[in-house]
Amino acid sequence: MKSDESGSVLVVDDDNDVLYTARLVLRGLFAKVDTLDRPDLIPNYLKTCKYDVILLDMNYSRGSTSGKEGLEWLEKILRIDPIACILTTTAYGEINLAVQAMKLGAVDFITKPWNKEQLVTSINNVINLRQIESGGNKPKRNLVGSGNPGNLKYPEVISRSSIMAQIAEIIKTVAPTDASVLILGENGTGKELAAWALHRESLRSQNSFVHVDLGSIPETLFEAELFGHTRGAFTDAREERAGRFEIASGGTLFLDEIGNLSLPLQAKILTAIQNREVVRIGSNHPVPVNVRLISATNMPLYEMADSFEFRQDLLYRINTVEIILPPLRERKEDISLLADYYLELFSRQYCKQGIKLKEDTLQKLEGYYWPGNIRELAHTIERAVILCKCGTLTPDDFILRTRSKSAPLSDEPTIHIEDYEKKAITSAMSKHNGNLSKAAEEMGIARSTLYRKIAHFGLENL
């Protein structure tokens, strides 16, 4: 988590429960956290403080769901501070509103109800962006809506391997066309990053890039999410809503995990692609859509097509051009570059600048099989930075699982970073019999930071 040494956040929401939760979660992690239940007070606060992040709700009047007020305040804030970094908060069914906000200048959006990890990570990302671009330059913005190459969520590809150079050349050649692209590769190899690169280099780069994780959408909500619905089309359909195809029209639609679709849902996707139109639930009127389609999966689609688990006609529609991303073990010359990148990123995030990798440590990382690929490498570096007690990471700081090359590949189990922090604090406090100064010194953090983390984790009685 971000320490209390830097970062200022303003949260604007008319729901006092939301403001209370924001204060509870963010105080102790950032230097300054202010909350407002009235947007008309925003100008006065901006006169006295230049916030790193402004978390802005979209609706304030009772019963309002249009988001018009939020969009107006977004524009007012940017007139006062043209380089303000604004995160909008919207309900899950208001993604089209979030896209409008980003076209006006919002940095990103968080869907409600948000959880703690989602909120803190989003704010940290924006603060890191400000630090990277300090010096007066206007922050790069629009994580979904622009063709910005310095995008936080989608940074440049980091590589010096020949195989990735070939893939980069394919992307450069294919991107300006409207050809459908299928990206194949194991989990964690960067399929979403490749999809973004295709959009960024395309003629549609100034329009929306809409990422849809098909594996996370329940079948009962599939049509509503992809094709939209009319008001009253089903229970809880309180207003008309565009689907992801419509939101992406004019831009790029990225269908991630397409191999997870059942045959009936594959048929619905195929119909929309073939006809270049969608019909909202509750309507009989087709809506024309113009999207550049990019799909991705880690599943063997050709084998699935042979066994009739995946429609051959859909496969032919989505793979005019095919890009296969190599696993990290096949581009080992990139491991040192990626390790340095994530070491610098997480050292800054956790306020532990100056951490270095010993040469034998790097050799250990380069010799590992990385079944979880780049995602696993990033998580491994992050854990090591959090637990680092000095300025150098040794081989012993990285506990890598022994795995046979013939063993099936899968992502590493999810590890919650807060569990490591809590364990490290508990261990240090126990070792030094509750002496805060010595425990903080051993962990390499300020005493005030340790005190706040103890309160955060409820460890006051240790």
- Cβ 248 vs Cβ 95: under 8 Å: no
At 314-360, the pLDDT tens digits run 999 999 999 999 999 999 999 999 999 889 888 887 788 889 998 99
Q: 319 and 182 in contact (C-beta within 8 Å)?
A: yes
Q: Is the pLDDT of residue 151 over 50?
A: no
pLDDT at 112 over 70: yes
**C-alpha span between 36 and 237 (Å, rounded):** 30
Q: Which helix (H) or strand (E) holds 36?
A: strand 32-36
Q: Supply the pLDDT for residue 135.
A: 41
Query: What is the chain's mean pLDDT, rounded?
Result: 81
- Paired tokens of 49: 């403080």
Q: What is the topology classification, in CATH, of domain 331-397?
A: Helicase, Ruva Protein; domain 3 (1.10.8)
The pTM score is 0.60
Per the model's pLDDT, the better-predicted residue between 25 and 454 turns out to be 25
pLDDT for the residue numbered 413 = 41
Q: What is the pLDDT of residue 380?
A: 93
- Cβ atoms of residues 260 and 299 within 8 Å: yes
Q: Provide mean pLDDT across the span 150-160.
A: 62
Among residues 229, 176, 174, the alpha carbon closest in space to that of 205 is found at: 176
More confident residue, 121 or 72: 72
Q: Choose the weakest-confidence range: 51-60, 128-137, 218-227.
A: 128-137
Integer Cα distance of 411 and 404 in angstroms? 15
- Sorting pLDDT into bands at 50, 70 and 90, what band is 309? very high
Task: Using a pLDDT cut of 70, give the percent of the chain over it.
Answer: 81
- Residue 370 has what pLDDT? 94
Token code pair at residue 256: 């991630």
More confident residue, 255 or 221: 255
Average pLDDT over residues 9-25: 88
For the ranges 161-165, 225-229, 237-241, 300-304, the lowest mean pLDDT is seen at: 237-241
* Class level of CATH domain 162-326: alpha beta
Q: What is the pLDDT of residue 49?
A: 87
Percent of the chain's residues with pLDDT above 90: 36
Q: 3-state secondary structure string, 83-131?
A: CCCEEEEEEHHHHHHHHHHHHHCCCEEEEECCCHHHHHHHHHHHHHHHH
What does the DSSP 8-state code read for residue 445? S
Average pLDDT of span 404-412? 46
Q: For the structural domain made of 417-457, what CATH number should be given?
A: 1.10.10
Angle at 15 between CA 56 and CA 50, to 5 degrees: 35
Give the integer Cα–Cα distance in Å for 36 and 18: 11
d(CA 398, CA 368): 11
Residue ranges of domains in the chain: 8-132, 162-326, 331-397, 417-457
Does residue 143 register a pLDDT over 50? Answer: no
Say whether 331-397 and 162-326 share the same fold: no
On the question of pLDDT at 153 being above 60, the answer is no
Query: Could you give the C-alpha distances from 124 to 4, 7, 80, 316, in angstroms and in order?
Result: 12, 8, 23, 41
- Which pLDDT band, with edges at 50, 70 and 90, does 461 fall under? low
Is the pLDDT at 21 greater than 60, yes or no? yes
- Which helix (H) or strand (E) segment holds residue 157: the answer is none
CA distance 6 to 444: 17
Phi/psi at 393 (nearest 5 deg)?
-95, 120
Q: How many H-runs (helices) and E-runs (strands) does the chain carry?
A: 18, 16
Fold designation for 8-132: Rossmann fold (3.40.50)
